[in-house]
Structure 1
């Protein structure tokens, strides 16, 4: 038994508890030594393949004896009691602190591509590499499949993909070939006799001489079955090299945690894609072409899917029916309710579209009978392009915005309750008379809610964005809609996922 003074024991235990909220025994148990004890006490190499490693080396208290020391050299002073153990524990604390910082950065990522980039950067720092790529290829075959590179352009990734899959380290992992469960190290590609000629050619062209690949398999999967694997990640060295045992252990711990985080983001991405696909299929595949007007629509949906919709359908007498609306709730049920409501509105518009109040009255009755637990806002307009006139009625919906060279103003509509809120809905219609070149912008409340501001401020921002649109953009309703989106929702909020759906329908009179 080691003779460790009370002062040393207290110092070590306090350090571990403060850094990792665990005791000494827990540290031994959860972070076991990798390799031989002497290797753990040896100084870590400052570089691997010429790359400075950002993994902090533990501060050693015992200097190693250099090989070939002259017998005349004075012997090293004896190590104080507990110094060896304290040195090793300090190394563990340093490694755990590094892992904690890297995993914290990974946890802050909320998009799949962003998380994959962070995985590549952190892993490259841990293994001492400069470049790498991650191949996302879920074993269940449900996708999405993608390849992202670090320090590699799209053309470089294309060159790598020309190499036969079985000749690549990550390809052997993805195909479940023997030897890929714990990672595949290729310390010197050009020294391997069995290296595929195309792999040799691509490696020489891109300038990498070694690689280290590990599988992306969540621990929650409970097995190493290829069906549970998310993909593989490989780091590339510029010269012959390979990670040492400590680096392999650290990157293994990090990748296992990263795989869990990626699995959650993958499910979120799949849900978002499914909801966007479902919503897109329920919305018009294309907008009709009607003489006298130009149409453009923009739709942004959140990860859960929402009930916002738009529609434009030709009506008799060269007229056009225009509609935007929103169903309360989110998720598949709201998307399905939106589809039913939109289909019903199309039928009512064909039968009595010249009377928008009658169209919304029939829609309100249907909603109250078939969807008693839901409410909806809607705006329907009967457009006569030849007269540049729109007769519209609204049910709890935001007023349209009329955008022209000499005026930018909200159209005054009557105050009315959403559909499904009253026993009998009815509100008077209003008429919009537009000038040549003016655009009527219909939109859903999600455009205002995504700003995160009060209603008055959101309306003011929307008005300012439309009024400040350059003259060249006003000739194209699609360009005008994009300008409004980017101005009202800056810093990428127009394209990012959000809790609120956003719909814009721009109608420009020629």
Structure 2
């Protein structure tokens, strides 16, 4: 009968600089964390000085390693990037090759997500079949008590106390040991109530213990759980005291960074939801035209909007606009302005100049410190005609088989800039199958090009719409958006909102 396979001690991965000297090498009985030597370690007259020098060299190397890893972490500006970096850095510290991190804030406000390192979607699915309480990170997420230095399972296949399903999945995925750490932040009572994490609430001592910082007198509310991370070993192994200590210091810092990104992500989601609720939930179906829209908002929320509403006599009101500023106040102002424009359009939509004149008067009286640009069109689908009036807005773009041209509109100031706004309207006559593109300036500003080059890029993108896609306004809008803003610019965070409304005449 074979003897049990002894567990290996996992060390720091070679991808991270390791100390040239460690306490263990200076004194066989010394602690890798504290550096305390055994009584029999002092040999020769120079032993105390050599021990101190070796200990200092190890500390400097450890600090250098943590500095490099945290520097890489702070360069991440999204939750997904940060979670990937935490997994890679933790794997290097504890000497693993695979792992996963589960983001599941204890306040239940989300977002909840799971990210794997060296694990495919199917592998993550297999792990989800294991009862949650049987997994080390599952116990952390459930709030069960765990040691300060994490949860180590050095030999999963030999430990008969583990759940059989866990051993089965471990054998299928090819890992024999695991090491898990919680991701939590120290917070005050106020932060636990939902005001965000306390970034300066604790300071890690050399031994990794939380020490209250500051003198505000606010009592600590304990750690707030954000999630858990676990790393897997292909063979029986367990990280030693020094890798555990470094990994613990790193994850405590990483949790603070994740908490900040979590608040940003929640703010971004809330602003996008609020802005989306103030825009049309669906575009109307009107005989003779097809509609499609694209809307992108920045993390702070902006004031760009679009609208399409049925009017009497089988007409259609089309509008795009932008309110100055960003954040909740701009989103709220956009909602008020759009609602007012809808009311004016129903009453006098056949006269776009009158609609924008009323809107300008409302803006000047109710929000004198704010200005806005707007474009309103009274569309008659049966005649393939749009009567347009603009206030400081970019001209529409007409796209057809034989022409791609900007529609000449009168030059006018934005709403709220003059004591009395009024500008003549223009008529646009389209041919069957042609598409009119209405857009906000954010589409041009996100390119980063000067105005003339941005307009040229937009014109070239519209002229280059594939012939097979011209019958579908949704395909036209998507092609123009991705061509004008390539390389992910359309979906990246930006202070500029983007609105694109495509109107195709049958």
TM-score range, shorter chain: 0.7 to 0.9
Cross-structure match for 1:472: 468
User: 1:386-429 CA distances to partner (integer Å, 9 max, x unpaired)?
Assistant: 11111110000011111112111111110001111111100000
SS of equivalent residue, structure 1 residue 442: strand
Cross-structure match for 2:68: 101
Cross-structure match for 1:12: none
Structure 1 pair 333–468 and aligned structure 2 pair: CA distance change class (3 A): same
User: 1:123-165 CA distances to partner (integer Å, 9 max, x unpaired)?
Assistant: 1111111111111011111111111111111121111112111
Cross-structure match for 1:194: 161
Cα distance in 2 for residues equivalent to 1:82 and 1:459: 71
Cross-structure match for 1:32: none
Cα distance in 1 for residues equivalent to 2:252 and 2:460: 49
Please tell me whether the aligned partners of residues 170 and 214 of structure 1 are also in contact (alpha carbons under 8 angstroms). yes
Q: Decide which of 14, 20, 26 is 1:53's aligned counterpart.
A: 14
Q: CA deviation at 1:185?
A: 0.7
Q: Decide which of 70, 92, 97 is 1:130's aligned counterpart.
A: 97
Please tell me whether the aligned partners of residues 377 and 397 of structure 1 are also in contact (alpha carbons under 8 angstroms). yes
SS of equivalent residue, structure 1 residue 217: strand
Q: CA deviation at 1:64?
A: 6.9
Cross-structure match for 1:71: none
Aligned residue-pair number: 456
1:87 maps to 2:48: no
Q: Decide which of 290, 308, 327 is 1:312's aligned counterpart.
A: 308
1:158 maps to 2:125: yes
Written as runs of structure 1 = structure 2, the 5 A alignment for 1:90-489 is: 90-220=57-187, 221=198, 228-489=224-485
Q: CA deviation at 1:441?
A: 0.4
Structure 1 pair 181–93 and aligned structure 2 pair: CA distance change class (3 A): closer
Q: CA deviation at 1:54?
A: 2.4
Cα distance in 1 for residues equivalent to 2:384 and 2:329: 38
Greater displacement, 172-181 / 134-143: 172-181
Please tell me whether the aligned partners of residues 139 and 226 of structure 1 are also in contact (alpha carbons under 8 angstroms). no
Please tell me whether the aligned partners of residues 306 and 335 of structure 1 are also in contact (alpha carbons under 8 angstroms). yes
Cα distance in 2 for residues equivalent to 1:452 and 1:286: 31
Q: CA deviation at 1:352?
A: 0.8
Q: CA deviation at 1:508?
A: 0.9
Q: CA deviation at 1:85?
A: 2.4
Q: CA deviation at 1:66?
A: 10
Q: CA deviation at 1:253?
A: 1.1
SS of equivalent residue, structure 1 residue 119: helix
Q: CA deviation at 1:188?
A: 0.9
Please tell me whether the aligned partners of residues 381 and 390 of structure 1 are also in contact (alpha carbons under 8 angstroms). yes
Cα distance in 2 for residues equivalent to 1:431 and 1:124: 64
Please tell me whether the aligned partners of residues 156 and 162 of structure 2 are also in contact (alpha carbons under 8 angstroms). yes
Please tell me whether the aligned partners of residues 433 and 504 of structure 2 are also in contact (alpha carbons under 8 angstroms). yes
Greater displacement, 495-504 / 187-196: 187-196
SS of equivalent residue, structure 1 residue 475: coil
Please tell me whether the aligned partners of residues 51 and 130 of structure 1 are also in contact (alpha carbons under 8 angstroms). no
Cα distance in 2 for residues equivalent to 1:468 and 1:108: 37
Please tell me whether the aligned partners of residues 481 and 506 of structure 1 are also in contact (alpha carbons under 8 angstroms). yes
Written as runs of structure 1 = structure 2, the 5 A alignment for 1:61-80 is: none
Cα distance in 1 for residues equivalent to 2:475 and 2:500: 12
Structure 1 pair 65–368 and aligned structure 2 pair: CA distance change class (3 A): closer
Cα distance in 1 for residues equivalent to 2:353 and 2:360: 10
User: 1:326-359 CA distances to partner (integer Å, 9 max, x unpaired)?
Assistant: 1111111111111111111111111111110011
SS of equivalent residue, structure 1 residue 236: strand
Cα distance in 1 for residues equivalent to 2:56 and 2:182: 29
Structure 2: where are the runs of 5+ without partners?
Answer: 1-7, 30-42, 188-197, 202-209, 211-219
Please tell me whether the aligned partners of residues 149 and 244 of structure 2 are also in contact (alpha carbons under 8 angstroms). no
User: 1:422-451 CA distances to partner (integer Å, 9 max, x unpaired)?
Assistant: 111000001111111111000001111111
Q: CA deviation at 1:238?
A: 1.0
